[in-house]
Each structure stands twice: as structure tokens, then as C-alpha cells.
Structure 1
Amino acid sequence: LVGGAALLAYAYQAAGLYPPDDATIKFIARERGWLRDDV
């Protein structure tokens, strides 16, 4: 994962908004263009 995605997931977890499971993190990363499918 790109650092930004990990930081975003941590921020959401710290805020108690959702458990940052791998699928959710990857979904957010793809939505924001941080994760490429070829990785």
C-alpha cells in the first residue's frame, strides 16, 4: 500500500469510523488512485 492509504486507514480507525480491513483500505486506495491493480 502507498503510505497515504495507510495513513488514511489509520486516521479512520483512530476516529472509530470503521475497522480498516484490507479490502476497505484497497477500495479507498483505488477510489483515490493510490493503488494500481498491476502491483
Structure 2
Amino acid sequence: MSYMPYETYVNENTMKAYCVVTITNERLCKTVHKDFMSDFK
């Protein structure tokens, strides 16, 4: 399944909360550190 980037946030702790929307319009969000895109390959 391929994911498309939806939103990327950076908070005061410089952590990224990465959200994706799947083919079924399901929104998935997770808070991650560097190399966060590797989880979505």
C-alpha cells in the first residue's frame, strides 16, 4: 500500500508528527524523530 503525505508538524520539541491518508481516507498520525519517512516506504 502506498501512502501520500498529508501533514507535517514541528512542535517546540522539534519532533515531527507525520500524518498520512490511506486509499480508504483513513488518517494515520504518528510522532517520530529523524528518518520518519522510512516507516512509510
TM-score under structure 1 length normalisation: 0.23
TM-score, normalization: structure 2? 0.23
Which one has a larger percent helix, Structure 1 or Structure 2?
1
